[in-house]
A and B are shown apart, each in its own frame.
Chain A
Amino acid sequence: DAGVTQSPTHLIKTRGQHVTLRCSPISGHKSVSWYQQVLGQGPQFIFQYYEKEERGRGNFPDRFSARQFPNYSSELNVNALLLGDSALYLCASSFSMDAYNQPQHFGDGTRLSIL
């Protein structure tokens, strides 16, 4: 089975632009979470979606938004890009929201660079 897939792999944008990142979870997984990983730091939680509803939100500005589609894939949108948004954006999926025996599986991430 395919793992979590994210696209694009790399992306270069300029300040003020908008970006959309995409994530396809593992088949059968209904929960998708997004994390931002700044260089040299651990990932920071941005959003969690389950059954197409937002179930958790981290401490990020309203410029960040996301949604989940009926096929459980997800998009992360960032408006008015700032230099500080440069980071690796990770998507993680799991079968349900709270399942110790079904931990989150991560994709390879999208490297976003802001010029």
Chain B
Amino acid sequence: AQTVTQSQPEMSVQEAETVTLSCTYDTSESDYYLFWYKQPPSRQMILVIRQEAYKQQNATENRFSVNFQKAAKSFSLKISDSQLGDAAMYFCAYRPKGANSKLTFGKGITLSVRP
């Protein structure tokens, strides 16, 4: 069974600084997708960034980028130039490439941004 582990329950970053959120996963599949979702207090899960396992190049979306280490089964999220609006719960998620689009989520990490 696939598992996703986010071992840091909370992190804090100064506004305009950079922070990295860690995620590891376990799977026997060779092709899959990885995602980072943001959940603000409004509750809606918002897709931040996604990575396909077969793509060696790390995904980047504006201030958000990932460090994908397939051999180590590691998928960390880097947020640059942190903004107050980045404060939220962040979830790492895994999905096998196949007919079932079931997402397996980690427990999440609470990110606070200090002004």
Contact = CB atoms under 8 A, between A and B. Distances in A.
Contact of B33 (A41, A45, A100): A100
Given A42-B107, A43-B105, A97 B44 contact: no
Contacts of A43: 45, 91, 103, 105
Interface of A: 31, 33, 35, 40-45, 48, 55-56, 58, 88, 90, 92, 94, 97-100, 103-109, 111
B91 A33 contact: no
B55 to A, nearest CB: 10
B100 A56 contact: yes
Interface residues of B, number: 27
B28 to A, nearest CB: 18
B115 to A, nearest CB: 26
Nearest to A111: B43
By secondary structure, the B interface counts as loop
B52 interface: yes
A45 B106 contact: no
Contacts of B97: 98, 100
A107 to B, nearest CB: 7
B98 A98 contact: yes
Contacts of A111: 43
Contacts of A45: 102-104
A44 B93 CA distance: 11
Contacts of A100: 33, 50, 52, 97
Contacts of A88: 43
A48 B44 contact: no
Interface string B10-34: 0000000000000000000000010
A2 to B, nearest CB: 13
A48 B100 contact: yes
A42 B108 CA distance: 6
B100 A108 contact: no
Interface string B83-111: 00000000101000111111111111000
Contacts of B107: 40-42
